[in-house]
């Protein structure tokens, strides 16, 4: 069958070839041209016939133009959508950046353990509590604030040290404090005792990350007026008048990659605020605490410090006791020494150091650090604000005079008030103003807050602490009334 079809096809081809030759001869074409034409036809080499003439602009049909217009419209819409999304993303990033700036002074809580009370009176256990975990997202303006806070809890840290937790007076569902503070700052407490307003300043021990409360750790000083009031008379639910925060003895983590904290006694309070803040934020830098106390029962925050050591590998704790006689204590004994610092902190001379405690202890430590080659600008210090300063003698009471000492004739004239007060060489201008009823506002009475600044009009004064004065203040003859003393007559604008 297949062979028959091939023979038929071959016969048809020969017929067409003969027919083409016959037509060409009839048209008087050369045989060679006829053969060539037949060959090109068989090989599909003949030129195509004339097509449709071009139509439309540039020879394109209207269908082509319609498709191109659709593609251009689609491209334009995609570009518009992309531009709109980029504008929304920029606006969102800007709002997030502004939110960080507003909340930078008081970061959100990250879950480090808050304070809790132990059953033992001498040692207070502080364990995590879920009730402290929720902090509302409320922005509070930074700056000085004054008003009343309510006592929410009282923790007995040691036999003579207690921590008072203060919250917003309105209560409610965990309202935030009406102010923000930095770790290491302090508040001034104002109490009315026997009809007289008395102020004392106490360092904040809690973390600023916990925005629903702040804690003041207070040591009961023998004969202390305000500390006695806070230990013996204050109760949960009472309102306390406070102002602040004050102070520049702060560390939040961005100042240096690591920090060494050296504390003596209740001077650990502002450093504890920094430790809690750094661990709350999961700060990755190394934290070293060298803590000097008298005995085991004097170690404030002992159990919480041990807890933080177990929980945070970057936190190192060294406690040394100078008067402990019990064999139960196996840690270092004695005061802070060069050998103790060398063993506790590697590469000490390269680190930022904060020192807080009694003045003799701080002077000794700063001397050791200087001998070790620590640059002075790396060492920050502050007298602890848990002890009470010397009380001014009652109004009108003469200062004691040593036998043979001449009667004091030095005076301070308060120009604006038109009053003059005796000014013994051991009395500050603030104390002299209180003797004659001149109202100079004050807060810490230790030279750190700057509330008692006055202008010196004539004379010269000496000041033991000038932390609150800027170079501009000194150039303008501004002094601190709580620190200023003089051996000659002076005049101030008060």
Contact 352, 184 (CB under 8 A): no
Task: Concatenate the DSSP letters of all residues of 55-90 into one string.
Answer: -SGGG--HHHHHHHHHHHHHHHHHHHHHHHHHHHHH
What was the pLDDT predicted at 121?
36
pLDDT of residue 269: 96
Q: Going by CATH, does the domain composed of 139-246 fall within 3.40.50.300?
A: no
- Domain positions in the chain: 139-246, 258-383, 411-493
Tokens 């009009």 -> residue: 457
pTM, to two decimals: 0.65
For 276, list phi and psi in degrees, rounded to 5: -65, -40
- The Cα–Cα gap between 13 and 7 comes to 10
Place of tokens 């003969």: 18
Separation CA 254–CA 79 (nearest Å):
42
Closest CA to 109 of 260, 279, 334: 279
Query: Which residue is associated with the tokens 């809890």?
Result: 153
Yes or no: say if 174 and 212 are a contact pair by the CB < 8 Å rule.
yes
Specify whether the CB–CB gap between 197 and 396 falls below 8 A.
no
Q: What is the pLDDT of residue 87?
A: 83
Q: What is the per-residue pLDDT across 156-187, written as a single tens digit (0 to 9) for each?
A: 999 999 999 999 998 766 689 999 999 999 99
- pLDDT score recorded for residue 453: 92
Residue-level pLDDT at 47: 66
Which stretches of the chain score pLDDT less than 50?
A: 99-137, 386-387, 389-399, 401-406
**Residue 67: partners with Cβ closer than 8 Å, 6 or more residues away:** none
CATH architecture of 258-383: 3-Layer(aba) Sandwich (3.40)
- pLDDT computed for residue 52 by the predictor: 54
pLDDT the model gives residue 482: 92
Return the CATH fold of 411-493: Ubiquitin-like (UB roll) (3.10.20)
For every residue of 347-394, DSSP letters joined together read TGGGSEEEEEE-HHHHHHHHHHHHHTT--GGGEEEEE-SSSPPPPPPP
Q: Which strand (E) or helix (H) includes residue 258? A: strand 258-264
């Amino acid at each position: 069958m297949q062979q028959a079809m091939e023979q038929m096809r071959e016969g048809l081809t020969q017929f067409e070839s003969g027919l083409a030759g016959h037509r060409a001869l009839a048209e008087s074409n050369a045989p060679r041209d006829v053969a060539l034409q037949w060959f090109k036809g068989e090989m599909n080499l003949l030129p195509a016939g004339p097509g449709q003439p071009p139509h439309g602009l540039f020879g394109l049909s209207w269908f082509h133009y319609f498709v191109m217009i659709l593609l251009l419209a689609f491209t334009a819409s995609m570009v518009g959508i992309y531009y709109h999304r980029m504008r929304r993303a920029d606006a969102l990033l800007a709002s997030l950046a502004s939110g960080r700036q507003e909340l930078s002074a008081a970061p959100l809580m990250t879950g480090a353990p808050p304070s809790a009370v132990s059953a033992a009176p001498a040692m207070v256990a502080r364990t995590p509590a879920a009730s402290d975990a929720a902090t509302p997202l409320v922005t509070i303006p930074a700056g000085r604030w004054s008003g009343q806070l309510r006592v929410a809890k009282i923790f007995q840290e040691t036999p003579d040290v207690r921590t008072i937790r203060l919250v917003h007076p309105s209560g409610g569902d965990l309202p935030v404090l009406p102010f923000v503070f930095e770790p290491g700052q302090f508040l001034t407490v104002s109490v009315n005792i026997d009809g007289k307003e008395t102020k004392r300043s106490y360092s904040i021990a809690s973390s600023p990350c916990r925005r629903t409360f702040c804690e003041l750790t207070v040591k009961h000083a023998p004969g202390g007026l305000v500390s006695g009031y806070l230990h013996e008379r204050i109760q949960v639910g009472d309102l306390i008048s406070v102002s602040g925060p004050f102070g520049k003895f702060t560390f939040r983590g961005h100042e240096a990659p690591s920090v060494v904290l050296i504390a003596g006694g209740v001077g650990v309070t502002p450093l504890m605020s920094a430790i809690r803040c750094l661990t709350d934020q999961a700060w990755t830098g190394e934290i070293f605490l060298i803590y000097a106390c008298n005995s085991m029962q004097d170690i404030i925050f002992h159990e919480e410090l041990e807890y933080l050591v177990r929980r945070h590998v970057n936190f190192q704790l060294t406690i040394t006791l100078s008067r402990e006689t019990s064999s139960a204590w196996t840690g270092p004994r004695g005061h802070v020494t060069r050998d103790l610092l060398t063993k506790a902190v590697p590469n000490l001379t390269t680190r930022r150091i904060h020192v807080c405690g009694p003045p003799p202890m701080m002077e000794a430590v700063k001397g050791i650090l200087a001998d070790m080659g620590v640059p002075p600008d790396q060492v920050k210090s502050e007298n602890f604000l848990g002890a009470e300063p010397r009380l001014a003698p009652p109004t009108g009471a003469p200062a004691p005079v040593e036998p043979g000492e001449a009667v004091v004739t030095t005076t301070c004239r308060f120009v604006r008030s038109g009053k003059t007060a005796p000014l013994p060489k051991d009395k500050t201008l603030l104390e002299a103003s209180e003797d004659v009823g001149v109202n100079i506002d004050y807060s810490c009475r230790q030279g750190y807050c700057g509330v008692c600044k006055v202008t010196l009009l004539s004379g010269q004064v000496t000041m033991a602490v000038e932390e609150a004065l800027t170079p501009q203040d000194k150039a303008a003859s501004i002094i601190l009334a709580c620190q200023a003393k003089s051996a000659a007559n002076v005049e101030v604008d008060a």
